[in-house]
Amino acid sequence: MAIDFNPSRGATLGVEWELQLVDRHTRHLRQDAKEVLGAVPDLSEGQRPKAMHELMQSQVEIVTDVCHTVAEAVQDLKKSIGRLTEAVEPRGIALACTGTHAISDWRDAVYAPSQRYVELVEDLQWLAWRIQTFGVHVHVGVKERDKVIPIVNALAAYLPHFLALTSSSPYWGGQDTGLASSRAIVFGSLPTAGPPHLLADWAEFEEYMDTLLRAGTIRSIKEVWWDIRPHPDFGTIEVRMFDGIPTPREVGMVAALTQCLVQQFDQQLDRGYKLPHPAAWVVRDNKWRATRYGLDADVITDDHGSTAPMRDVLYELQRELEPVAERLGCADELAVVTEVLEQGSSSERQRAILADGGTLQDVVDATVIELAEDRFVTSNPNREIGQSAT
């Protein structure tokens, strides 16, 4: 089969952010997406809606228009959040985002009213029942089809970087899983999820998709939920590895990191360079290390098994990409990497709240504050004011 790729005009950006609907009183998820979306027809209707359903009624996904800079994308998201906030506040709902919700039980979830989701649940059964998870996806435009697969392969080496920076799901159903990202396990269990297959070129990608369709494994190439995948219709590479991200500033950070890496690899191809092609076992092993340990992981740095601390690797990566970020106008957003290294990823910040005498309800309060005020909360937000959740 031939898969047409709609080329982009450079490293354009699009961001998808899956938001939680949190009950302000109970701190549990509210299954009210249908009502919330109905209250914002200016966002949820039309040919290109900016707010829409995801699998569960506990979440609303907001998407940007095609943007040229990270600052433009973040501002687009903030505008949608402001509009949604107007709709949810009278309903006693707050917005938040982490890879999983700390205390809600997936068995209480209600599915969104979509035939596509009905078919998905019928096919996947228990695997789909428990996908009460939240993530962020970043699209970066690519000008030429034949660059896509080499860039996807090169980006696969950065799966642990993407996940460690955004790890935000240590809790599942009220229990500490011991992982930095339980979402990576829950979502990664889907048959067509996980690291991208490291293919040779676009022709091999077309052949592989054709094989999956003929075998009945998928009905559409949109059902290939790789951590990084080509998106032919949009003319982009889509990075889907990020856990749910609590703050706009961190969303800007990962958008900058993704745009810089894609742009750097694109330019290296123009100069005739051969891009890195990590071994599949290294990609899988490193993803697990970030899933388990987050920023505290020691990651494999070559095919011979050498390792280095993730924090050191990220520090060096940020410095390496600074010239690219300056040219793209996203240096400030990329610099948030340093803030996360200093103050901790969301999974670390959540655990710090319990270490400060808080409860998981306090953790939920902290994530609500982080999104609303675009700042990191690293201690129990209710301790000093004597309102610790019970």
Over the stretch 235-248, which tens digit does the pLDDT of each residue have?
A: 999 999 999 999 99
Query: Distance (Å, rounded) from C-alpha 255 to C-alpha 257?
Result: 6
Task: Examine the pLDDT at 387 and tell me if it is beyond 70.
Answer: no
Burial class (CB in 10 A: 0-12, 13-18, 19+), 218: middle
Main-chain phi, psi angles of 205, to 5 degrees: -65, -45
Query: Distance (Å, rounded) from C-alpha 275 to C-alpha 308?
Result: 21
Number of neighbours of residue 368 by Cβ within 10 angstroms: 21
Span 13-383: which CATH code? Answer: 3.30.590.20
* Per-residue pLDDT tens digits for 266-297: 999 999 999 999 999 999 999 999 999 999 99
Between vectors from CA 104 to CA 98 and to CA 107, what angle results, nearest 5°?
A: 120
Range ranked top by mean pLDDT from 100-109, 171-180, 188-197 = 171-180
Note whether 324 and 260 are within 8 A (CB). yes
Least confident of 59-63, 116-120, 324-328, 360-364: 116-120
Give the model's pLDDT for residue 385.
Answer: 54
SS3 42: helix
Burial class (CB in 10 A: 0-12, 13-18, 19+), 72: middle
Number of neighbours of residue 76 by Cβ within 10 angstroms: 20
pTM of the model: 0.95
Give the model's pLDDT for residue 384.
Answer: 59
Give the model's pLDDT for residue 128.
Answer: 84
Mean pLDDT of the chain: 94
Tokens representing 64 are 């940007």
Using a pLDDT cut of 70, give the percent of the chain over it.
98
Tokens representing 247 are 């703050």
* Per-residue pLDDT tens digits for 207-228: 999 999 999 999 888 899 999 9
Least confident of 14-18, 109-113, 292-296: 109-113
Note whether 29 and 20 are within 8 A (CB). yes
β-bridge pairing 225-226 and 193-194: parallel
Question: Who has greater pLDDT, 124 or 183?
Answer: 183
Query: Distance (Å, rounded) from C-alpha 47 to C-alpha 60?
Result: 17
Helices (H) and strands (E) in the chain, counts: 16, 13
Please give the average per-residue pLDDT across 347-357, as a whole number: 97
β-bridge pairing 135-141 and 171-172: unpaired
Give the model's pLDDT for residue 388.
Answer: 42
Task: Examine the pLDDT at 39 and tell me if it is beyond 60.
Answer: yes
Give the model's pLDDT for residue 390.
Answer: 34
Task: Examine the pLDDT at 386 and tell me if it is beyond 70.
Answer: no
* Per-residue pLDDT tens digits for 112-157: 777 777 888 888 898 888 889 999 999 999 999 999 999 999 999 9
